[in-house]
Amino acid sequence: MRVPVSWLRELVDVDVATDVLAERLALAGVGVERIERMGEDVSGIYVGDVLSVRDVEVSEKLCVAEVDAGPRGRYQIVAGAKNFSVGDRVPVALPGARVTTLDVPISVRPMPGGLESQGMLCSAKELGVSDDHGGILVLGPDAPVGADVPEMLGLRDEILELEITPNRPDLLSVFGVAREVAVLFGGSVRPEAASHQADGPDVATLTRVDIEAPEGCPRYLAMVVEGVVYDQSPLAVQRRIAACGMRPLGNLVDATNYVLLLTGQPLHAFDLDRLVEERIVVRWARAGERMATLDGVDRDLAPDDLVIADASAPQALAGVMGGASSEVSSTTSRVLIESAHFTPAVIARTARRHGLVTEASRRFERGADPGAVPGAAALCAELMRLWAQGTVAQGQVDVGSVPPRETITLRRARADALIGIGVEAAETDRLLAGLGCDVRPHEDRAEVLPPSWRPDLTREIDLIEEIARLHGYDAVPMRVPTGARGFLTPAQTLRRRVRDVLLGAGLTEVVLTSFVSDDDLAASGERGEPLRVSNPLSVDQEALRPSLIPGMLRWGQRNTARGLRDLAAYEIGQVFSAWADADSPLPPESLRLGLLVAGDASSGAWHETARPADELDVKGILEVLLAELGVTAWTTGPCDEMPLHPGRSATISLDGAVVGRFGALRPSVARAFDLEGTPAVAEIELEPLIAAAPAALSVVDLPRMPAVRRDITFVLDEHVPSAAVEATIRAAAGPALERVALRDVYTGEPVPSGSRALTYRIVLRAADRTLTDAEADEVRATVAEAVRTLHAAQLR
């Protein structure tokens, strides 16, 4: 939602800088994506009076005009449009000026026929008023010659680009944001008057409305404006509509869009003379019906599509988009204004089916304010009277009704307990009243009737959340609420430990969607048929993920495409499998940990050589994680599952059961996701790891005695695993062993062919004394004998 700050300040007194306003909205839970400063790229443009116009002889398209720019003098301008004449007031960009369509300042330029253009006459697009580039923008005759055009038209403005959550449809309007600002800063909102001048005949003599599907449309209201003249809207209106992200389309449509942006109530304008029997029928679509919508697409209608029809055929997809056969145009003389309330689920279903997301559907499917129906229609009718010289028919055809809201009991003690602090009753009542609630206070409670524009306020907890939000989350102290008995379970504690370890290892946590596309499953080589979603939001979310790996690979591809090639990330999330129990209402889920490393695995320090990440990096991360969890009884085994490389991957098992896998990606999979180098992944079931972890980690004192180190090198058959040798060393070294690590692997002369030399470093330490050289040498000899006996090794 784009909100011009100038429009906002017209509706509510808020004497703070825009940055402060945005910060306060963000703290109250209204996301501010950015603040856009409009008009900063427009300067040096003034109102000019056209003194003369003549054609350029060598060009059919060009004309040359002499323009008086007031105190700045007279200028000869060559223009590429001829929609203006002598006496018109036009915007003139003088040398050095800047317009929105050019990256360089305006300069004096030579033109065909030996002419010189000393500036430029501007269109609406070049000023940023709208996208209209069809001709020079002709200003009104009252525009003062020499006046600064951006200043006169209010082109310099600040725009709040807000991220509105689905539960707050009231914020999809400038007036709704003004209400929010008023309650945050303390003030009142000045609504635009909804009264209108009605001099026409009784509206009941001009049209009729029948609701045949009340479950889809509880209320429908119609007004009629006759004698309208289709033309452009006032420039200030065009600028305001464009600033909100919509295109000005002429005074009749702009009136409906202006009211939508202001009040959040979507409206539609029908050409009344193109409606059969001049009446409206709200009904479900019939089998085989088709209609062409305003986007020029012929659509097949389904029986559960709600349509606005005349006596003959559908004329609009209710709450989504109008039909081409009854749209207003330059020939329209009578307009029927539709203002209705539709059931949100009905509109959402139709919009998804037809792939249409419109400004109207966005508001209706979230729950537009049913109380705004009459006032929005009246305001629109008045604007059409003012902008299109229309005559408003008397009265409104108002059919149906919306059930009233129910009163909610707010217990003050309950609110204080959940918020964690005591908020004064008077402050609580003030905040709720500022939202538009009707508050009847009592000593220990309040009876609260929510306003019609807040469909999300249905329970006591909703009111308590609003009190905390408006009072300020930053005003709630960071302490455990009085009487709280919360604690973390052992499993929750271990999950937090997993996150801490992985973050400490340099990985970034990502949170990805639980859905996956068929293309990603096929590219990753995951086997099995996934669980499919009957109503996916998009083709990329048509199945529940059976694995974390495809999603992480797609995440890696997106980041690589944006230049972030060195990746180290993890995700903890649920995966889904087919029903094992037909009576279960939900599919089986399991909590897994996924890892992805790719690109350069070095730290980036000047003295460190760059090296590509590979499966050994993943193995090292997993070793650290398992050690920190206290899980020691794990083993690895061969792995030949997609998408892992069969020669550079392994499974992880606990108590003989496979709980995960890790390794390098197969080259074909890496190419499919545009990942360079030797990317590696891992996926592990978390519940078995958490179950195998000890209830409490053991803690030992820091050593006080020095360690003794001994290096030992064995020459043995190249097929003997180094892990087996390490296990033998650990078993033979005894209690003095603190750590053993493989330091070097060597092949070549003088080591015999088919053999290799493995060098291990043994670290020995006693808790109560310093080990002597003799004791260390004795342990080294014992280790050497054990390795020689079990692995046919030779000591070097």
The pLDDT assigned to 622 comes to 94
Q: Look at domain 2-39+157-185 and name its CATH class.
A: alpha beta
The pLDDT assigned to 485 comes to 60
Does 250 score more than 80 pLDDT? yes
Q: What fold does the segment set 198-400 form as a domain? A: Phenylalanyl-tRNA Synthetase; Chain B, domain 3 (3.50.40)
For 694, the 3-state DSSP assignment is coil
- Of 489 and 718, the structure prediction assigns the larger pLDDT to 718
Torsion angle (degrees, nearest 10) of CA 244, 249, 251, 257: -40
Mean pLDDT in residue range 370-398: 95
CA distance linking residue 380 with residue 361, whole number of Å:
19
Does 591 score more than 70 pLDDT? yes
Task: Give the length of the chain.
Answer: 796
- pLDDT tens-place string over residues 63-104: 999 999 999 999 999 998 989 999 999 999 999 999 988 888
The pLDDT assigned to 525 comes to 87
The pLDDT assigned to 540 comes to 78
Does 481 score more than 70 pLDDT? no
Return all residues near 108 (Cβ < 8 A) that are at least 6 apart. Answer: 95, 116, 117, 118, 119
Does 783 score more than 70 pLDDT? yes
Mean pLDDT in residue range 557-573: 93
Does 528 score more than 80 pLDDT? no
- pLDDT tens-place string over residues 98-146: 998 888 899 999 988 888 999 999 998 888 887 778 899 998 888 999 9
CA distances to 365, 366, 458 from 171, rounded to whole Å, are: 14, 11, 18
What pTM does this model have? Answer: 0.69
Name the token pair of 268.
């539609």
Mean pLDDT in residue range 227-246: 91
- CATH value of 43-153 in 1.20.140.10, 3.40.630.10, 2.40.50.140, 3.40.50.11810: 2.40.50.140
Mean pLDDT in residue range 332-338: 97
CATH dotted code for 708-795: 3.30.70.380
CA distance linking residue 225 with residue 275, whole number of Å:
15
Q: Give the angle subtended at the CA of 344 by the CAs of 287 and 165, to the nearest 5°.
A: 140
Mean pLDDT in residue range 603-608: 74
CA distance linking residue 734 with residue 780, whole number of Å:
11
The pLDDT assigned to 187 comes to 81
CA distance linking residue 755 with residue 794, whole number of Å:
10
Cis omega (within 30 of 0) for bond into 750: yes
Mean pLDDT in residue range 657-685: 93
CATH dotted code for 408-475: 3.30.56.10
- How high does pLDDT run on average in the chain? 91
> Which DSSP category does 452 fall into?
T
Pick left, alpha or beta for residue 476 (phi over 0 → left; psi -120 to 50 → alpha; otherwise beta). Answer: beta
CATH dotted code for 491-692: 3.30.930.10
Backbone angles phi, psi at 784, to 5 degrees: -60, -40
3-state percent breakdown (helix, strand, coil) of the chain, nearest 5: 30, 30, 40
Residue 774 burial (10 A CB sphere; 0-12, 13-18, 19+): exposed
Does 193 score more than 60 pLDDT? yes
Mean pLDDT in residue range 307-315: 95
Task: Go through 571-590 and write b for each residue having 16 or more CB atoms within 10 A of its CB, e for each that does not.
Answer: bbbebbeeeeeeeeeeeeee
Determine the longest span between alpha carbons in the chain, in angstroms: 116
Neighbours of 66 (CB within 10 A): 17
The pLDDT assigned to 618 comes to 95
- pLDDT tens-place string over residues 153-173: 888 889 999 999 999 999 999
Does 375 score more than 80 pLDDT? yes
Mean pLDDT in residue range 266-286: 96
The pLDDT assigned to 484 comes to 53
pLDDT band at 194 (very low <50, low <70, confident <90, very high): low
Q: Give the angle subtended at the CA of 143 by the CAs of 140 and 148, to the nearest 5°.
A: 130
Do the domains at 198-400 and 491-692 have one common CATH topology? Answer: no
Backbone angles phi, psi at 185, to 5 degrees: -105, -5
Question: What are the DSSP calls for 501-522, one per residue?
Answer: HHHHTT-EE----SEE-HHHHH
Percent of residues, the chain, with pLDDT higher than 90: 72
Domain boundaries, the chain: 2-39+157-185, 43-153, 198-400, 408-475, 491-692, 708-795
